[in-house]
Amino acid sequence: FRPDYATLTSVPWETDPTAQLIHDAYTREGAPVETAPRNVLKRILKLYDEKGWEPVVAPEIEFYLVKPNADPDYPLEPPTGRSGRPEVGRQSYSISALNEFDDLIDDIYDLSEQQGLEIDTLIHEEGAAQMEINIRHGNPSNLRTRSSCSSARSARPRCGTICMPPSCPSRCRISPVRPCTSTSR
């Protein structure tokens, strides 16, 4: 791996001074790993450049909020919102469904702004506690850095967010693919 210092950004939700940095994947011989997502994107951007085109993209980040679950034998469940009731789904694009997690939504906007990530829209999708963040349109060479670096973790004890450490004492967590059941950081 080789660090890409252009991706260096502070991690505003950490109490100790912390930064994050994306690395590019290389083989032991020093050649770029052809299938690494950032290298694939670099090749695609080069093709656009050769044609004189300027690509514009708007990344989407879809995720589910789930209650913390330290036991992998138990299924994931939607979190309880501020109304005290767990979500059941079928609330597509509902403002009241988003309002159930106002503190978390505010934290996502605030922390994303601190990392230079411009959110265009944050909406509730079809599933129970299924959310989607739409990043403002832009050049992928800039957005790839910002959107892949940015993950918002709530500092409030109420809810956590994307890539949240499993040790966080929150009531809900965003789990992009699968829950992390480890108790170590």
- For strand 173-175 and strand 60-66, is the pairing parallel, antiparallel, or unpaired? antiparallel
Give the tokens for residue 161: 């967010």
Considering only residues 149 and 9, tell me which one the structure prediction assigns the higher pLDDT: 9
Burial category of 152 from C-beta neighbours within 10 Å (exposed 0-12, middle 13-18, buried 19 and up): buried
Strand pairing partners for 61? 133
Residue 64 has pLDDT above 60, yes or no: yes
Confidence bin at 119 (pLDDT 50/70/90): very high
Residue 96, number of CB atoms within 10 A of its CB: 10
Give the tokens for residue 58: 């708007």
CA dist., res. 26 & res. 33, Å (int): 5
CA dist., res. 171 & res. 105, Å (int): 14
pTM of the predicted structure, to 2 decimals: 0.68
**For 11-25, 105-119, 146-160, 171-185, which range has the lowest pLDDT when averaged over its residues?**
171-185
Q: Which residues contact 23 (CB under 8 A, 6 or more apart)?
A: 1, 2, 3, 4
Radius of gyration of the chain from its Cα atoms, rounded to whole angstroms: 18
Residue 80 has pLDDT above 60, yes or no: yes
